[in-house]
């Protein structure tokens, strides 16, 4: 379908109206105290097309805590810089378990199911740390360049809050280290992981930053980050694993590769067409934004845009 065929501003207004009854439902993440105090009634959505246009509705320019959405970008950087050997250390199968679960790790010998659960993301960050010497700064620089927003930064309060309450992530990292699947010292790795999760971005920033996935691996400046095949692979893993143990339901309702975070944001990709970002802090039991998933569902239903 031709990109010009869609009136994105009108579509976004319609979607926002349709999901308005849902904004405020669900609960903001409570296990990270700095996130628990966010007003759950906020809602924003943005679309970035491949001609450089960005359209938005509601709170689309309000920065929020990106959390696990950053796992997509670290995966892209680790694959771009280190290649396929990453897949010897992390799998590509849906986990069917919560994002911070420990249970599978023991009977699968410390190799996480996929890069989008916390265990898998810790392995990817460990790899990026080995490759670059400063994983979280590498990620932030990349996000600044791709979003065109030089003011993006870490949220020190959120990072500290995660560090203080990060026993489970620390346990996961130490457990994998005991199987030889972590190369860097665990405390340093956790620090980079928490900084990474704390990066604040708006829907506009995220939609822009994710465009390399819709452009089959090409960055904002036209240079190539990923091969076409690698971009396809990341989109595939987002579709099957990007929304944790709700990935099946997300694929059923939205029909796009997507990655959520417990800050209430979700990025979704329409390969060859556009990138979508949505944010509303109220989460469902699996840690995905209630109004966010509903908005993407509505958007793909109204437009027919889907990978299926």
The total of other beta-carbon atoms located within 10 Å of residue 92's CB is 15
Nearer to ligand GLN, 55 or 99 (CB): 99
> Residues 244, 260, 270, 290: which is the catalytic one?
244
Is 118 one of the annotated binding-site residues? yes
* Helices within the chain (DSSP H only): 8-19, 33-36, 70-82, 103-107, 118-132, 135-147, 156-164, 167-178, 186-198, 203-209, 211-214, 228-241, 247-253, 290-303
Q: Give how far Cα 31 sits from Cα of 155, 158, 300, Å.
A: 17, 11, 32
Residues 199-258 that bind ligand GLN (CB under 6 A): none
Residue 152 neighbours by CB under 8 Å, 6+ apart: 140, 143, 144, 199, 200, 201, 205
287 interacts with ligand GLN by CB under 6 A: yes
67 interacts with ligand GLN by CB under 6 A: yes
Nearer to ligand GLN, 58 or 265 (CB): 265
Does residue 259 have an active-site annotation?
no
Does residue 244 have an active-site annotation?
yes
Residue nearest ligand GLN, CB atom distance: 68
Does residue 31 have an active-site annotation?
no
275: phi then psi, degrees, rounded to nearest 5: -120, 140
> Residues 8, 47, 54, 68: which is the catalytic one?
68
> Residues 124, 147, 193, 293: which is the catalytic one?
193
Does residue 262 have an active-site annotation?
yes
- Per the annotation, binding residues for substrate are 68, 118, 162, 169, 193, 244, 262
Q: Which residues of this protein are in contact with ligand GLN, per CB under 6 A?
A: 67-68, 99-100, 118, 162, 169, 197, 261-262, 287
């Amino acid at each position: 379908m031709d990109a010009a065929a869609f009136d994105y501003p009108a579509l976004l207004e319609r979607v926002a109206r349709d999901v308005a009854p849902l904004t405020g439902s669900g609960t903001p993440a409570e296990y990270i105290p700095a996130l628990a105090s966010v007003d759950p009634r906020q809602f924003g959505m943005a679309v970035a097309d491949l001609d450089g246009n960005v359209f938005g509705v509601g709170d689309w320019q309000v920065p929020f805590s990106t959390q696990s959405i950053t796992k997509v970008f670290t995966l892209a950087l680790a694959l771009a810089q280190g290649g396929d050997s990453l897949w010897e250390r992390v799998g590509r199968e849906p986990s069917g378990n919560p994002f911070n679960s420990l249970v599978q790790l023991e009977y699968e010998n410390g190799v996480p199911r996929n890069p989008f659960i916390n265990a898998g993301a810790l392995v990817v960050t460990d790899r990026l740390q080995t490759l670059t010497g400063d994983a979280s700064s590498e990620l932030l620089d990349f996000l600044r360049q791709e979003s065109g927003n030089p003011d993006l930064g870490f949220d020190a309060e959120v990072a500290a809050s995660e560090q203080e309450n990060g026993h489970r992530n620390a346990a996961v990292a130490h457990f994998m280290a005991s199987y030889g699947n972590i190369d860097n010292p665990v405390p340093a790795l956790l620090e980079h992981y928490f900084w990474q999760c704390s990066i604040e971005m708006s829907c506009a920033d995220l939609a822009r930053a994710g465009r390399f996935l819709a452009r089959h691996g090409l960055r904002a400046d036209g240079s190539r980050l990923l091969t076409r095949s690698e971009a396809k692979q990341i989109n595939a893993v987002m579709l099957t694993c990007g929304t944790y143990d709700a990935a099946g339901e997300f694929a059923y309702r939205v029909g796009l590769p997507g990655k959520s975070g417990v800050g209430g944001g979700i990025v979704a990709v329409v390969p060859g067409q556009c990138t979508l970002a949505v944010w509303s802090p109220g989460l469902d039991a699996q840690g995905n934004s209630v109004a966010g998933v509903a908005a993407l569902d509505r958007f793909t239903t109204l437009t027919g845009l889907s990978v299926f």
